[in-house]
A = this chain, B = another copy of it.
Amino acid sequence: MSKGGVEVRRKGFEHERELARRLFKEGFAVIRAPASGAKVFRLIYPDVVAIYKNKVLVFEVKAYSSLRVVYIDARRYERLMTFAERSGGETYLAFKLIGTGEWRLVPFTKLEKTRSGVYRCGIGQLEIAEKLEDVIARVKRGQGHAHVSRTPT
Contacts and interface: CB of A to CB of B under 8 A. Distances in A.
Contacts of A45: 31
Nearest to A34: B34
Of the four ranges (under 10, 10 to 19, 20 to 34, 35 or more), the interface on chain A belongs to 20 to 34
Contacts of A83: 29
A49 B52 CA distance: 14
Interface in A53-100: 53-56, 82-84, 86-89
A20 interface: yes
Given A32-B41, A35-B34, A52 B86 contact: yes
A8 interface: no
A20 B86 CA distance: 14
